[in-house]
Structure 1
Amino acid sequence: MERYGENKSAAIKPSSIQGFAMEGGKFTSEIRNNRRPLRDIKNFVNAPLPRAVIKGKPAAEDKSRNFEGHRPMTRKLAASLANKKLSHQDSNQRNGLLDNENCKKAIPNSNDLESITVIDVDEYMEASEPPLPVLENQTEAILEEMESMQDCNPEEVEMEDLEEPVPDIDSCDRNNQLAVVDYVEDIYAFYRQAENSSCVCPNYMSQQSDINEKMRAILIDWLIEVHYKFELMAETLFLTVNLIDRFLEHQTVVRKKLQLVGVTAMLLACKYEEVSIPVVEDLITISDRAYTRDEVLAMEKLMINTLQFNMSVPTPYVFMRRFLKAAQSDKTLELLSFFMIELCLVEYEMLKFRPSLLAAAAIYTAQCTLKGFKHWSTTSEWHTRYTEDQLQECSRSMVDFHQNAAAGRLTGVHRKYSTSKFGFAAKSEPACFLLDTRL
């Protein structure tokens, strides 16, 4: 059978047409002009086609033609078998793919063969099952998929990580050679690895027989005042406290020599950090001449050998400078942060925290104090490597120290930061809301 498209005319052999009336072997003009092609809706795909009927008589048998069913059976039978005397074998051959029930519906009575029925395409299409719509593009499919995703659990849907990039905090120092921008990340990576060597055992005082943690607190509170009076650098104070703790961890000291340890530690820190250092006589004077020059030099020798000349250790100060830069701090935040961390220098219990954690918690506590609510930026978290939850314990201790800074006998830090030089940082209202663990 010669096929044709819906939009293209073609000659069709009469023997291959079903259900069109013919007169004298030719199509009538009315039928020829009104005929329309049928679509294959895949109904009874392999069913054989019945032969055309001409004025109630069946067309001549053409056994050489094998009709393969590519057209569906319609509701109105336009052509059927008219010869009742066809053999049972021939009937099965032509209707082999139809079941018995469909054969009963397809073969009409002999009375119905007298009339010619033309296929009603419109009526046939209405009764047929409509074909599935074909999308010209993928827009409609995408919309349906998005609607279905709305009902899904967001945790089960894989999403791309849309985190904002961390800003470059060193971009403003590209032209500053002292900022060593090209090496700063490597430097602080080394500090993180080396900070464990600067830490001491948090209960080393149990090895001391004549001194305790209260005496240590009195010594450091006094050294903070000495440091302020001599107008030394901040690095010197933090290194002084570190040298004292590391020395006391390995060396047993009697009570009368504890102040000598403090004075000598400050002398060593000044030699390491300061450009202009105080002379030994000045330190003896400040200690009310309780020790001689020889005693100071002898203690210096003992201490430096006990520490194996290891003076290059990362203290909380080095982390403070980096973390304040990440927090984009101003002078107010900087002074308040140092006030928080110097309060921790006096407290023996804060030795359990690493220097980097102390620095991060001091800045976090100062930010919360100034803003009145919890604040920890993504940039600060990325550079400090500490989340807000990891800072809570240390931060609550700092708030408690802030509340009691002006009370008791050890008020050196509070007096220092109550001056205009340090921005009256000690007079700020403590962030008491951080003490509520339910927040």
Structure 2
Amino acid sequence: MACSQRPRERMPLPRNAKMLSTKQSRAGKAGPAAENVDPEKEESCHAKRSSSSPQGGPKKRSAFGDITNARKNQVVAGKKEAVKIAPPKAQKAHNALGVAKNNEINLKKSMKKTPPTAPAEPRVDPGPEKPVSVQELKPPEQRQVPAVEDIDKEQLGDPYANAEYAKEIFEYMREREEKFILPDYMEKQTDISGDMRAILVDWMVEVQERCPPCVDDFLYICDDAYKREELIAMEMSILSTLKFDINIPIPYRFLRRFAKCARATMETLTLARFLCEMTLQEYDYARESPSKLAASCLLLALTMKNLGGWTPTLEYYSGYSAQDLHPLVKRLNFLLTYQPRDKLNAVRSKYSHRVFFEVAKVTPMDMLMLEETLTSS
């Protein structure tokens, strides 16, 4: 009886047991509200707990792995560890591959240092030796590399230069000049002879003006030998015969472009124009193509003034090499030296004026010296 009435001694509860009872009582009070707990918050709450919790600690719910990605993270972590730690066989294969690469690199380095000697080729007779030019005798750093200059690049902003279409325009003119190559028409001509033609051209050079003359001026020059109606009728007949195709390529247009390629001064260009106009009176030059005549006149002018020969830029834009022009250049120099028409000197008088730099007074080149200069260039 005494024992039964003695108050029961309370045993000290474990530390974790108290926490468990407290949390269980709180969980019991929460009731239905526990179902509305955010899974992410719940996961973060459990993630903060240490895996080495004291014995008797609460265990994770079995459903925790179903609603979170904790198990997936463990699988991924396991895979990463498996990649880092390779099995012994794979490690040996990896080491063998590295050794093979090192051997290949060392082999390439050794081949660069000591290149293999190629087998000696059979000796071939080179034949007769070719003459070596002065350019080839110079050291490599002093040799001039031939380059073609873009002569239209500087005038791309000038609307009057037509730089964007200049190359195509002159290619079109080169095609058209083939259509206007004159045949030997003097044999069929019964009205005038070669001497009469020269007198007519000399007179036309003398009476030309910078501005186109009107009909009354032509009547005055002819000393009223023709009436106005006759002059206009003849003009209409000429245009009809030519089918109004009067845009004929002439040497003057080509000469101006070629002089631009050579960057020639106005004095050098004027000298070339003088040589070109000297051929107007000579019937033999009437059948030369305008572009070739212009190129030959410029080459002779450059040679007379000792300004160099035919450059790659001139060859590119003209379409003629220096060798193509040499025969015509010699003929031009011969005409300048031994012109037989002393009375027909309208062209010489014109270019003897200071406005034209008095280029008609330039001494022609000696024929032998010209031959040597053209051959050496």
TM-score by length of 2: 0.60
Q: Does 1:210 align with 2:184?
A: no
Distance across 2 between alignment mates of 1:168 and 1:139: 44
Aligned to 1:378: 312
Aligned to 2:337: 403
Contact 2:147/2:313 (<8 A) preserved = no
Amino acid at match of 2:330: R
Distance across 1 between alignment mates of 2:123 and 2:163: 46
Amino acid at match of 1:221: D
Aligned Cα RMSD in Å? 3.1
Aligned to 2:258: 323
Distance across 2 between alignment mates of 1:436 and 1:292: 51
| 3-state SS in 1 of match to 2:280 | helix
Q: How does 1:39-50 map to 2 (within 5 A)?
A: none
Aligned to 2:153: 171
Instruction: Say if 1:211 and 1:169 are closer, same or farther in 2 by CA, change over 3 A.
Output: same
Contact 1:217/1:346 (<8 A) preserved = yes
Amino acid at match of 1:206: E
Q: How does 1:7-406 map to 2 (within 5 A)?
A: 136-138=110-112, 141=115, 153=126, 164-201=146-183, 203-227=184-208, 230-232=209-211, 277-371=212-306, 375-405=309-339
Distance across 2 between alignment mates of 1:298 and 1:398: 38
CA shift for structure 1 position 149: 12
CA shift for structure 1 position 151: 9.3
Distance across 2 between alignment mates of 1:149 and 1:422: 65
Aligned to 2:48: none
Kindly indicate which of the two structures has a greater share of residues assigned to helix: 2
Amino acid at match of 1:215: M
Provide the identity percentage: 30
CA shift for structure 1 position 403: 1.4
Distance across 2 between alignment mates of 1:139 and 1:218: 81
| 3-state SS in 2 of match to 1:136 | helix
CA shift for structure 1 position 396: 1.3
Contact 1:342/1:413 (<8 A) preserved = yes
Contact 2:268/2:301 (<8 A) preserved = yes
CA shift for structure 1 position 306: 1.0
Distance across 2 between alignment mates of 1:141 and 1:428: 64
Instruction: Say if 1:199 and 1:424 are closer, same or farther in 2 by CA, change over 3 A.
Output: same
Instruction: Say if 1:137 and 1:331 are closer, same or farther in 2 by CA, change over 3 A.
Output: same
Instruction: Say if 1:377 and 1:180 are closer, same or farther in 2 by CA, change over 3 A.
Output: same
Aligned to 2:75: none
**Consecutive unaligned residues in structure 1, runs of 5 or more:** 1-133, 156-161, 233-276
Which has the higher Rg, Structure 1 or Structure 2? 2
Amino acid at match of 1:312: N
Amino acid at match of 2:301: A
CA shift for structure 1 position 137: 3.5
Contact 2:258/2:295 (<8 A) preserved = yes
Q: Deviations over 1:214-258 (max 9, x none)?
A: 11111111111111xx234xxxxxxxxxxxxxxxxxxxxxxxxxx
**Equivalent pairs, count:** 251
Amino acid at match of 2:199: I
Amino acid at match of 1:386: Y
Contact 1:335/1:425 (<8 A) preserved = yes
Distance across 2 between alignment mates of 1:354 and 1:136: 64
Q: Deviations over 1:135-155 (max 9, x none)?
A: 93435548x77x989999599
Contact 1:406/1:414 (<8 A) preserved = no
Instruction: Say if 1:292 and 1:150 are closer, same or farther in 2 by CA, change over 3 A.
Output: farther
